Structure 1
Amino acid sequence: MSAICGLPILECVYCLACARWVWKKCLYTAGYESENWGLATAQEFEPVPRICRLILAVYEDDIRNPQWAPQGGYGINPDWVILRKDYDDNQGRVTPYMIYLDHDHAEIILAVSGLNLGKESDYIVLLDNKLGQAEFHGGYVHNGLLKAAGWVFDAEYEILRELVAENPNYMLIFTGHSLGAGVVALLTMLAVHNRDKLGISRNKIRCFAIASPRCTSLNLAVRYADVINSVVLQDDFLPRTTAALEDVFKSLLCWPCLLCIMCLKDTCTLEEKKLRDPRRLYAPGRLYHIVERKPFSLFWLQDRKTSTCR
């Protein structure tokens, strides 16, 4: 009888603990995480707005008649587009992407689009992972994203090598949004390790990953901080969630299940243990965190960064 009476009490305590955790999460703002980071300079952050505009161009059906009108002088010259590939061209291995030769800024750019909620192939890439399943040069990376990055590299490295040879003073830029950001982060790592195939030095390679999922172990995130730049906007869910992405998407039909998993992990796992876990995944490279300077203000934005990610 006492055991039966104790069960509802235990359930109530558990529900209260979860409710408290959810309440704290709702009140928490990501600005606290970067309040002690150094401030990014305007020169460091300068490429990001035009890079974002270029990523939007990958989503366009017709670049000459864009749905998203260019703003701030960040227009795209359709004549500088080297190639575009959609889902059919990519056989569902990766999201659509584009190679663009930017003569104004002396850059060779490969831009990859983000997750399409209506494409099953994108979920296959995203969910092809067990935490830290794929090993990569002394660290661990997201398995599905590494496969997608490898497919893009094998398909396009010859074109990139020709462009590098024809434009030896140009930077080679990899950029993407959301799922595409994770792909280009790992694509950049592959490019660094295969510089001989591209005919380029490491200091000529850069990556701008916009809202990237967690896809590299901590040691790799730090090791590639000189070439990979991740941009996180305020409380963006994808780069900041503590739950594995496969758990998040598998739990969409049972939201309380996801909350339960996240609550238990956050409560029962010590921060020191998380940092010591070599398979735990993080947002790649150097982080630029765009946060609101004042509560309830839409106009006081400040760029923050760290060169060591954590």
Structure 2
Amino acid sequence: MSLACCLPILECVYCLACARWAWQRCLHSAGHDSETWGLASPVEFEPVPRLCRYILAVYEDDLANPLWAPPGGYRMNPQWVVTRRTYDDTQGRAPPYLIYLDHDHNDVVLAIRGLNLAKETDYALLLDNRLGKRKFDGGYVHNGLLKAAGVILDAECDVLKDLLEKYPNYTLTFAGHSLGSGVAAMLAILVVQNKERLGIEERKRIRCYAMAPARCMSLNLAVRYADVINSVVSRMIFYLAHLLLWKTFSSHFSVCHACYV
């Protein structure tokens, strides 16, 4: 009997295939997904550093006396902060966020913080999903992120509507990072679907910038809302937090439209 007859051939082939798959997954990065994308133009990238500062400002308890300000500061007027919501305010059903009336750029901004590694409610929100669980507008979305977006929209609908009516030339921008980016993307599609709740007539008045976005919607929805949702992906993941703050590093970024699963 040959030695080959004693080897579990099928098991060996299976193990090798699994090892190859695991190795390829370890080598895969977001850069592979975006390597064929064009670089963002200066006009496309212009809002990104500013919106990143607004997202970082959500982490502060007092913008007048910031503890974690990036180089150059947040460049925000604390008096223009309309609303701030913490975990206590949302009861863990949505991440903390703020609404900022940006008079310098004619923009009403709702900025949402990223994943808090110390908060069980954030993990519960992320895990509230399974493949094919939540259908939306002919596609599929992340159930937990959509529910969090609904919580924010219900809480702030009247505030946003009043601001948009008072400033009819202002745009409405949703911005978030990581977990917050998924919630921001869900907020954007909810508002597009329910423009009348905010008194919005034109779809182009609504924008979303998702920084390091969570994959939260099926590809058909990503295409359908590509004119509204902008995903900002860094090709240098390790330096993401720093690069987002500087326009001079814009060549390292690609701006695509929408975030998909």
TM-score by length of 1: 0.72
Runs of 4+ in 1 over 2 A off after TM superposition: 4-7, 9-39, 67-74, 234-237, 299-310
- What is the number of residues matched between the two proteins? 249
2:139–2:221 CA contact under 8 A, matched in 1: yes
* Alpha-carbon offset, residue 36 of structure 1: 2.8
**Structure 1 236/161 Cα, relative in aligned 2: closer, same or farther at 3 Å?**
same
Equivalent-residue separation in structure 1 for 2:198 and 2:68 (angstroms): 33
- Aligned residue for 1:246? none
Equivalent-residue separation in structure 1 for 2:236 and 2:91 (angstroms): 33
**Structure 1 218/187 Cα, relative in aligned 2: closer, same or farther at 3 Å?**
same
- Aligned residue for 1:89? 89
* Alpha-carbon offset, residue 300 of structure 1: 9.1
Equivalent-residue separation in structure 2 for 1:231 and 1:133 (angstroms): 26
2:182–2:210 CA contact under 8 A, matched in 1: yes
* Alpha-carbon offset, residue 29 of structure 1: 5.0
* Alpha-carbon offset, residue 12 of structure 1: 4.3
Equivalent-residue separation in structure 2 for 1:118 and 1:56 (angstroms): 17
Equivalent-residue separation in structure 2 for 1:28 and 1:141 (angstroms): 24
**Structure 1 309/133 Cα, relative in aligned 2: closer, same or farther at 3 Å?**
closer
1:245-267 per-residue CA deviation (whole Å, 9 max, x = no partner) reads xxxxxxxxxxxxxxxxxxxxxxx
Equivalent-residue separation in structure 1 for 2:251 and 2:164 (angstroms): 36
- Aligned residue for 1:203? 204
Task: Report matched runs for 1:176-215 at 5 Å.
Answer: 176-200=176-200, 201-215=202-216
Task: Report matched runs for 1:90-239 at 5 Å.
Answer: 90-200=90-200, 201-234=202-235
| Structure 2 runs not aligned, ≥5 long | 244-248
Amino acid at match of 1:302: H
2:232–2:255 CA contact under 8 A, matched in 1: no
* Alpha-carbon offset, residue 6 of structure 1: 4.1
1:211–1:236 CA contact under 8 A, matched in 2: no
Equivalent-residue separation in structure 1 for 2:145 and 2:28 (angstroms): 30
**Structure 1 26/142 Cα, relative in aligned 2: closer, same or farther at 3 Å?**
closer
Equivalent-residue separation in structure 2 for 1:309 and 1:173 (angstroms): 16
SS state of the match for residue 252, structure 2? strand
* Alpha-carbon offset, residue 304 of structure 1: 2.7
Equivalent-residue separation in structure 2 for 1:18 and 1:180 (angstroms): 33
1:29–1:235 CA contact under 8 A, matched in 2: no
2:215–2:259 CA contact under 8 A, matched in 1: no
* Alpha-carbon offset, residue 38 of structure 1: 2.4
* Alpha-carbon offset, residue 226 of structure 1: 0.3
* Alpha-carbon offset, residue 174 of structure 1: 0.5
**Structure 1 120/36 Cα, relative in aligned 2: closer, same or farther at 3 Å?**
closer
- Aligned residue for 2:252? 302
**Structure 1 199/216 Cα, relative in aligned 2: closer, same or farther at 3 Å?**
same
**Structure 1 99/307 Cα, relative in aligned 2: closer, same or farther at 3 Å?**
closer
Q: 1 or 2 for the larger relative contact order (CA 8 Å, sep ≥6)?
A: 2
1:198-246 per-residue CA deviation (whole Å, 9 max, x = no partner) reads 1122111100111121111111000000010111222759xxxxxxxxx
TM-score by length of 2: 0.85
SS state of the match for residue 185, structure 1? helix
2:96–2:113 CA contact under 8 A, matched in 1: yes
**Structure 1 300/60 Cα, relative in aligned 2: closer, same or farther at 3 Å?**
closer
2:110–2:174 CA contact under 8 A, matched in 1: yes
1:256-304 per-residue CA deviation (whole Å, 9 max, x = no partner) reads xxxxxxxxxxxxxxxxxxxxxxxxxxxxxxxxxx9xxxxxxxx794333
Equivalent-residue separation in structure 1 for 2:77 and 2:7 (angstroms): 69
**Structure 1 13/142 Cα, relative in aligned 2: closer, same or farther at 3 Å?**
same
Equivalent-residue separation in structure 2 for 1:300 and 1:160 (angstroms): 31
SS state of the match for residue 164, structure 1? helix
SS state of the match for residue 189, structure 1? helix
* Alpha-carbon offset, residue 34 of structure 1: 2.8
1:135-168 per-residue CA deviation (whole Å, 9 max, x = no partner) reads 1111111111111111111110100000001111
Equivalent-residue separation in structure 1 for 2:255 and 2:210 (angstroms): 14
**Structure 1 188/29 Cα, relative in aligned 2: closer, same or farther at 3 Å?**
closer
